[in-house]
Amino acid sequence: MGVTDAAVETVDLRRSYGGVAVLDGLTMRVARGSVHALLGPNGAGKTTTVRILATLTTPDGGVARVDGHDVVRDRSRVRRAISLAGQHAALDDQQTGAENLHMMARLAGLAPAAARRRATDLLERFDLVAAGGRRVVTYSGGMRRRLDLAASLVGQPSVIFLDEPTTGLDPRSRQGLWEVVAELAGAGVTVLLTTQYLEEADRLADRIAVLHGGRLAAEGSADDLKRRFGAHRLELTLRDARSFAEAAHRLGGRVTHRDPARLELAVATDGGAPEIRHLLDEVDPDRQGLARFTVREATLDDVFLTLTGDPVPARREAAGV
């Protein structure tokens, strides 16, 4: 991908807090008009990366560009090109939805009539027309997130940063927000999102960057990452405690998951029939101890565990880094 194709680019980006390196040489590119997800365990540097790109934090070293502009030297140009929707909706609860959008449009420099038209257009786009005359304090969580995202688009940015946009939303509201993000990318807006939901990254992102220890551990499409770092898994349920213990002994260090209470074991596999047959014969040679088995395809959970050594991340990022 050439430089002109990059809506966002970082080279050897560094940032420390209290002597602790949060970003330790992060280099990545985000293609224009794409949805790019940042994944990583708590403290991996996801939010710090977004804050630097949004000109809210200054890096200690390295280079970061947004829409071709350096985030330190060309801060004002970067801010005109971007919008940021954080984890918490930045709205005035005592104003109506329409009033919030009109106010944002006026702050963005639109004339009164143009601001009203922009507010009306955004209420329609985000399915908030019926609620536009109500005070935001009466909105549900999903409605507030949609309004916050609408407000972030008042200035028609070319790049939008979404920091955990669906945290705390119910499944229906998350689905609705996913559809909006897909529409943004389809309209040519570049979306860089951080998320703690692996399903969200799998569903939305054209490319996924996995951060670990302030560095880029891996990058690629969801399918590519699964192929390179995930693994099929043979999940076994044994008939009794004795069969469980014998199977666990035979598999030894190859066991990737064990649950004695449920008599369940799991082992990585290439998913091919020859290896599956071999493992089943090895685990249960007399064909008396195995109750059932399942072959599961690789998921982003597997990729995350392989690259970071951590289980699926918590829903909030500790210390905002």
Place of tokens 């390196």: 21
- Please give the chain's pLDDT, 321 residues, in tens: 444 579 999 999 999 999 899 999 999 999 999 999 999 888 889 999 999 999 999 999 999 999 999 999 999 999 999 988 866 667 899 999 999 999 999 988 899 999 999 999 999 988 899 999 999 999 988 888 889 888 888 888 899 999 888 877 778 878 888 888 888 888 899 999 998 788 889 999 999 999 999 999 999 999 899 888 877 889 999 999 999 999 999 999 889 889 999 999 999 888 889 999 999 999 999 999 999 999 988 888 878 878 887 655 544 333 345
Domains in the chain: boundaries: 3-227, 231-297
* pTM greater than 0.85 (yes/no): no
- Protein fold of 3-227: Rossmann fold (3.40.50)
Domain 231-297, CATH number (from 3.30.70, 1.20.120, 1.10.8, 1.10.3470): 3.30.70
Cα–Cα distance measured from residue 63 to residue 40, given in angstroms and rounded to the nearest whole number: 21
What end-to-end distance do the CA atoms of the chain give, in Å? 28
pLDDT on residue 286: 93
Is 133 in a helix, a strand, or coil?
coil
Alpha helical stretches, state H, the chain: 46-53, 75-81, 97-107, 112-125, 141-152, 171-186, 198-204, 222-229, 241-251, 273-283, 300-308
How many C-beta neighbours within 10 Å does residue 286 have? Answer: 8
